[in-house]
Amino acid sequence: ETLKGKCYGCGAELQFVDESIPGFVPEKLLDKPGVICKRCHRIKHYNEVIRVTLEEEKFVDILRQISTQSAVVIYVMDSFDFEGSWITQLKKLIKDQPIYVVVNKIDILPKDINQQRIRLWIKHELEKKKLPVQAIFLASAYKQWGIDEIATYVRNNKGKRDVYVVGATNVGKSTLINRLIPLLVAEDGIEASTKLFDLPELTTSVYPGTTVEALKIPLSRKSAIYDTPGIVKKDRLIEQICPSCLNIVTPSKKIDPRIFQLNDQQTLFFGGLARIDYVKGNKQSFVCYVSNDLVVHRTKLEKADELYEKHYLELLSPPCKECESDLALTKEYEFDIPANHETDLVISGLGWLTIKGEAALVKIRVPQSAQVVKRKALI
């Protein structure tokens, strides 16, 4: 293995050994001055990103480096998978750098959602997790909602500091950066480096782990925005299913809530990834907020075991046979909810169900990698 020089585009060390990681160039180009690696070449000329393998330790290093820079941090979270987009070590690694939280993908939330309520809920969650933040924005990078507001805030508050965009994979970092760049560059006006303008938009993709290495995008001669790698949370449900199953469980447009009037002793399956048993309580509605493409199957509790055994990976899918991980429903949660409540039971990565009013005993089974949390209903 020979490593000389660095890629002029992304700064990765040049190498000619592994095409699947950044810095790859054909051997004969290794010593050429100003050479860019294959990945940067593709981004630049074809607008596509080569998926690379990601090491978790590397992200920790990048986050730790941020603590030593003059920086502000935009922490992107997914409004649909708040738990899944939580980075446990963030505060510890970046120390006292100012954090602006962007809660992305609000376009997929049902239309009757109250934004003020979401904001308060998120504020409360961040306080509970002891993460001090300077601002919280609700946004849809995809629909370009809330982007002006973020850009204005960043412009007015970042001073001369660089901007680092961090977040778990697939929360929409690249999409957000693509939206922010023109707005932030416009502000720096003449100062903006010309190099930027031949940089095409960053490519985005639905599969986790598409953004690799910290990519520097100059905003001016003095400051830059850094697109950091997505943090792969291996214990996250969506990291464990195949790309086509991921497409099914990740909502790409507004969720249409599905309402089931359940008697007790009835069961719902979210594909084969979650089983919800209504063990005890009066007849009431269970409103499911999951991807419109995910099958919600209803059955009697006494038949649920048999149905699961017979139809797992088929009728009860995702997961499918292509998914490599063991996603059996081995983790169990029990919620004993007293009357007069408004409750969401949130299954990380899959969505949530809302019940209101009647007392209920609910049992939820999920794969080891999923978490289930109870919160006050958002809607």
- Contact between 206 and ligand GDP by CB under 6 A: the answer reads yes
| C-beta of 107 vs 162, nearer to ligand GDP | 107
Binding footprint of ligand GDP, residue count (CB under 6 A): 22
Choose which of 77, 141, 217, 255 interacts with ligand GDP (CB under 6 A): 141
Q: Residue 223 in contact with residue 186, Cβ under 8 Å? A: no
Tokens read off for 97: 């750098």
In the range 209-268, which residues lie near ligand GDP by CB under 6 A? 210-211, 230, 252
Name the residue number minimizing CB distance to ligand GDP: 172
| C-beta of 158 vs 179, nearer to ligand GDP | 179
- Contact between 167 and ligand GDP by CB under 6 A: the answer reads yes
| C-beta of 126 vs 141, nearer to ligand GDP | 141
Q: Residue 76 in contact with residue 172, Cβ under 8 Å? A: yes
Burial of 30 (0-12, 13-18, 19+ CB in 10 A): middle
- Contact between 186 and ligand GDP by CB under 6 A: the answer reads no
Q: Residue 186 in contact with residue 196, Cβ under 8 Å? A: no
* Smallest distance, ligand GDP to C-beta of residue 232, A: 10
- Contact between 85 and ligand GDP by CB under 6 A: the answer reads no
In the range 347-366, which residues lie near ligand GDP by CB under 6 A? none
Choose which of 204, 240, 266, 317 interacts with ligand GDP (CB under 6 A): 204
Burial of 302 (0-12, 13-18, 19+ CB in 10 A): exposed
Residue 24 has what DSSP assignment? B
Dist. CA 318–CA 23, nearest whole Å: 36
The pairing of strands 99-104 and 135-138 is: parallel
98 dihedral zone (left: phi>0; alpha: psi -120 to 50; beta): beta
Instruction: Name the residue type at position 179.
Output: R
Tokens read off for 249: 């469980």
- Contact between 107 and ligand GDP by CB under 6 A: the answer reads yes
- Contact between 205 and ligand GDP by CB under 6 A: the answer reads yes
- Contact between 79 and ligand GDP by CB under 6 A: the answer reads no
Reference 323, options 204, 203, 241; nearest CA is 241
Give, in degrees to the nearest 5, the angle at Cα 170 between 165 and 174: 45
Q: Which stretch binds ligand GDP (CB under 6 A): 26-34, 112-120, 205-213, 308-316?
A: 205-213
Q: Which stretch binds ligand GDP (CB under 6 A): 10-18, 100-108, 306-314, 334-342?
A: 100-108
| C-beta of 36 vs 215, nearer to ligand GDP | 215
Dist. CA 126–CA 245, nearest whole Å: 30
Choose which of 9, 172, 271, 272 interacts with ligand GDP (CB under 6 A): 172
Q: Residue 10 in contact with residue 38, Cβ under 8 Å? A: no
* Smallest distance, ligand GDP to C-beta of residue 333, A: 27
Choose which of 170, 228, 266, 317 interacts with ligand GDP (CB under 6 A): 170
In the complex, which residues of this chain contact ligand GDP (CB under 6 A)? 104-105, 107-108, 140-142, 167, 169-175, 204-206, 210-211, 230, 252
